Amino acid sequence: MKLYLVRHGETDMNLNNRFYGWTDADINEKGLQQAELLREAFREIHLDAIYSSDLKRALHTAEIIAEGREVQKEPQLRELYYGDWEDRTWEDMTEADRIALKQWRVDWENCTMPKGERFLDFYRRVTERLDGIIRENKGRHILVVSHNGALSAMLCHLTGAGPRGFWNFNSKQGHYSAIWVSEKKLTVDCINFPAK
């Protein structure tokens, strides 16, 4: 099968550097333009099915690319939940929050944000659903629209980098990655390929 991975278009929360894992922000004007460029790119690519996180920014991006085709909503493909840090910037944080954030950045596998999702639970949630999508679609061409963290988890899982490789991947908005997946091997076709 061939798997295409797309990060949602830009949101105003991206511009403001806010934590917004499950905060349901939609794409902004630039995000709409990015989604339209992706739509143009995928007009030339055969897709058998389209999956998306159920959050607005991913779903809206997927619907623009899909041009009326069915988009299967997948809550398991959501971003990491930031708990008490949702919809906050660095400037909004207390000193205790800043210390906790520094600790989390060093030991993200074991530290959990206040009332947030444990990293390894997030990683398992995303990769188990990805494995299900792969099992359900052998021999097909599939598009998945999700979030930077979720896509990093998918790429770590697919390439064998595992959770420790999480920070080695960064999915750019307005770009896509493509991977050939079979039972015997995985071939990375491209990472962050520009739509136009």
Structure token pair of residue 99:
């210390």
**What single DSSP character describes residue 19?**
B
Q: Which of 153, 163, 195 is nearest to 177 (CA)?
A: 195
Find the Cα–Cα–Cα–Cα dihedral 44, 129, 177, 108, rounded to 10°.
160
**Taking the alpha carbons of 185, 189, 190, 196 in that order, is the dihedral positive or negative?**
negative
Which residue in the block uniquely carries the two structure tokens 């629209």? 145
- Contacts for 95 with CB less than 8 Å, ≥ 6 apart: none
Cα 80 from Cα 31, distance rounded (Å): 20
8 is catalytic: yes
79 is catalytic: yes
- Other Cβ atoms closer than 10 A to 182: 11
Catalytic entry in 10, 63, 79, 117: 79
Within 44-118, where are the H helices?
Answer: 56-66, 95-106
Identity of the residue numbered 123: Y
Residues with catalytic roles? 8, 79
